[in-house]
């Protein structure tokens, strides 16, 4: 009896186990079928909406590119402004240093020329003014003297001319007297 029962339980358990196996296999098959169909649906959707998605991605990429270009241009202009300001500062400092160097050179040159006794431009200008003043004074003093000289010069010339006229007959008489004695 025990043997009989154990064989009955074995057959019941084998039948239940076969049924369970069939049921599990059917469930796995159904699940695989659903997965396959879902994949096919996704593929179909991707084909249908792939162009739309691609266009959307292109639009989004264009927008992103414009934003990044704008930001890059802003940064470039900011850096350019800073560099220009720095260049102006350096140029100003260089100009100041150049002016100082030029001033030092001029001072040293003037000092060396002064030691050698070379007159400065101011000295030459002062001498020129003194010459102009003296020339004006000489011109004032020479005008009355020139008038007197002109007046006295004409008087002796007239006296000499009269003396020459008077001496001509005397000279002619002397010349005639010499011819006779010879």
The tens-digit pLDDT sequence of the chain (182 residues) is 445 555 555 555 566 666 677 878 888 888 888 988 888 887 787 777 777 777 887 888 899 889 888 898 998 999 899 889 888 888 888 888 888 889 999 899 988 888 888 888 888 999 999 999 999 999 999 886 666 666 665 555 555 555 555 555 555 555 555 555 54
Which residues are within 8 A (CB) of 119 and not within 5 positions of it... i.e. 6 or more apart? 127
Which residues are within 8 A (CB) of 133 and not within 5 positions of it... i.e. 6 or more apart? none
Tokens of 129: 């003014």
Question: What is each CA distance from 33 to 19, 24, 27, 117, in whole angstroms?
Answer: 21, 14, 10, 117
The predicted structure's pLDDT at residue 182: 46
The predicted structure's pLDDT at residue 32: 87
The predicted structure's pLDDT at residue 59: 86
User: How far apart are alpha carbons 74 and 61 in whole angstroms?
Assistant: 20
The predicted structure's pLDDT at residue 108: 92
The predicted structure's pLDDT at residue 1: 47
Please answer whether residues 114 and 120 qualify as being in contact, where contact means their C-beta atoms are separated by less than 8 angstroms: yes
Phi-psi region of 119 (alpha: psi -120 to 50; beta: other; left: phi over 0): beta
The predicted structure's pLDDT at residue 13: 57
The predicted structure's pLDDT at residue 2: 47
Concatenated DSSP letters for 76-124? HHHHHHHHHHHHHHHHHHHHHHHHHHHHHHHHHHHHHHHHHTPPPHHHH
The predicted structure's pLDDT at residue 136: 94
The predicted structure's pLDDT at residue 131: 96
- Residue 1 three-state SS: coil
Concatenated DSSP letters for 119-164? PPHHHHHHHHHHHHHHHHHHHHHHHHHHHHHHHHHHHHHHHHHHHH
User: How far apart are alpha carbons 169 and 163 in whole angstroms?
Assistant: 11
């Amino acid at each position: 009896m025990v043997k009989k029962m154990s064989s009955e339980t074995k057959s019941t358990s084998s039948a239940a186990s076969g049924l369970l196996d069939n049921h599990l296999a059917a469930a796995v098959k159904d699940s695989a079928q659903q997965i396959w169909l879902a994949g096919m649906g996704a593929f179909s959707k991707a084909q249908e909406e792939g162009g739309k998605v691609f266009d959307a991605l292109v639009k989004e990429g264009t927008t992103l590119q414009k934003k990044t270009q704008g930001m890059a241009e802003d940064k470039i202009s900011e850096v350019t402004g800073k560099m220009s300001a720095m260049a102006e500062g350096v140029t100003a400092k260089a100009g100041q240093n150049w002016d100082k160097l030029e001033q030092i050179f001029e001072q040293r040159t003037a000092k060396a020329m002064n030691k050698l006794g070379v007159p400065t431009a101011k000295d030459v200008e002062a001498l020129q003014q003194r010459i102009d003043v003296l020339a004006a004074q000489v011109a004032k003093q020479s005008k009355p003297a020139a008038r007197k000289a002109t007046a006295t010069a004409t008087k002796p010339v007239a006296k000499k001319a009269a003396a020459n006229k008077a001496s001509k007959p005397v000279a002619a008489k002397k010349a005639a007297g010499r011819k006779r004695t010879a």
